[in-house]
Amino acid sequence: MFGTTTDFLLGRDQSGVVDYSRAPSNNKVSVTLAANTEATTTVPNDSNTYKVVFSIEPGSTVWVAIGATAAVPAGATFAVTNSMLNPTVLWLEKNKVIHAITADSSADVGIEYYAQS
């Protein structure tokens, strides 16, 4: 399903200072989430550990859980949850299942996998 792995390396400017740019990954997936409908994807099952970079449609609320059902919070009090709101970058081992859900009418989500070197 996936192409050759892309290492997660940050770019540098002319002075050698990290500028936080990165090469596009060869391994990407995307989904348009429908309201209250969970979608899942699995981290590649190979010898790598991955930095997983999320791109979430601006203004969208997406809840993500790893290896558990993602849940939109309910109620006006804090409760224990497995879900994270709009994560940016996670470090995940092979074969972990990523679950995502939104209460919005829809939300576009992109995921890029980078091999951790």
The pLDDT tens digits for 10-57 are 556 677 776 556 677 888 999 999 999 999 999 988 888 899 999 999
Quote the distance between the C-alpha of residue 93 and its chain's center: 13
Q: What is the pLDDT of the chain when averaged over all its residues?
A: 88
Residue type, 91: W
Residue 95 lies in a domain: yes
pLDDT at 96: 95
68 lies in some domain: yes
Note down the domain range covering 83.
27-115
Does some domain include residue 89? yes
- Domain of 77, CATH number, reads 2.60.120
Domains: count for the chain: 1
Cα→Cα distances 73→25, 64, 78, 111, Å: 32, 12, 9, 23
